[in-house]
Amino acid sequence: MRTGGFRRRLVVSDTLFSMDGDLAPLADLVELAERHGAMLMLDEAHAVGVFGPNGRGAAEQFGVESKVPIRVGTLSKALGGAGGFVVGSRPLVEWLLNRARPYVFSTAHPPAVAAAAVAALDIVRDEPHRRAELLSRAAEFRQALAQEGFNTGSAAGQIVPLIIGQPEAAISWSAELRRRGFFVPGIRPPSVPPGQSLLRISLSFGHTAENIEQLASMLRAVRARLTALAS
């Protein structure tokens, strides 16, 4: 890592990756940033509200919050609203307030949107069973798929990829599932590497164990149908 010629150095990573559903090695990233005198910025968009004892994200889950100078995220995923946030030191916040052009030249959210965000944060704080049950159901779902021979990679959260391979096949799977009443997007390059096209299954607390079993059963049925058509 060549960093000597730069006065400011910044390491940036997601914490929970949006397509493969795997977690970044946060302890390693903290060590890397410290070793090279760099700031570490983590994007918690898919982890906030799901990971951590208080739902603050993967940095909280792995105990590295105090070593991460900048965290960003969204209010539009687990929190169900709109907009986003930056978490950092007071000097960083003041600097952004005065120098960040997209912020300076943006209009404020309507009061209803701000109130919805605050209410969502209250739910995250007061109802931890939601994220615990979601992660438990996701783990059971991944295990059930693995037992059926499906490839879910190294997913570790509520985003469960079903790796298909070629883009045409992923789109065929997605279309067949949609015809049967399930919206499961097919993801192709450049969103994923060549040869790694997948179905992106995104679970929420609102998906019951029955819903998840229905999807697992439908995936088996779609595999059987498409295999038969290809033979």
CATH, residue 35 = 3.40.640.10
Whether 107 maps to a domain, the answer reads: yes
Number of domains in the chain: 2
Residue 24 belongs to some domain of the structure: yes
- What's the pLDDT at 226? 87
pLDDT score recorded for residue 228? 87
pLDDT at 1 over 80: no
Q: How confident is the model at residue 141 (pLDDT cuts 50, 70, 90)?
A: very high
Task: Judge whether 134 and 205 are in contact, CB under 8 Å.
Answer: yes
**Does residue 7 have a pLDDT over 80?**
no
Residue 229 pLDDT grade (very low, low, confident, very high; cuts 50, 70, 90): confident
pLDDT of residue 5: 67
- Give the pLDDT score at 4: 60
Residue 4 lies in a domain: no
Does residue 187 fall inside a structural domain?
Answer: yes
Exposure string of 140-175, with b = 16+ CB inside 10 Å and e = fewer, is ebbeebeeeebebbebbbbbbbbbbeebebbbbbbe
β-pairing verdict for 159-165 and 197-202 = antiparallel
Residues 15 and 118 in one domain: yes
Q: Is the pLDDT score of 124 beyond 90?
A: yes
For the chain, what is the mean pLDDT? Answer: 94
pLDDT at residue 3 is higher than 70 = no
Question: What is the set of active-site residues?
Answer: 18, 46, 77
Same domain, 89 and 147: no
Q: Is residue 2 part of a domain?
A: no
Question: Assign residue 219 a region: left if phi > 0, alpha if psi is -120 to 50, beta otherwise?
Answer: alpha
Same domain, 122 and 50: yes
The pTM (predicted TM-score) of the whole model is 0.91
**Boundary-marking domain end, from 80, 107, 126:** 126
Across 27-102, where does the E strand assignment appear? 39-43, 70-74, 84-87
Residue range(s) defining the domain that contains residue 26: 10-126
Q: For residue range 49-98, list pLDDT tens digits in order.
A: 999 999 999 999 999 999 999 999 999 999 999 999 999 999 999 999 99
pLDDT in tens, 197-216: 999 999 999 999 999 999 99
Q: What is the pLDDT of residue 227?
A: 86
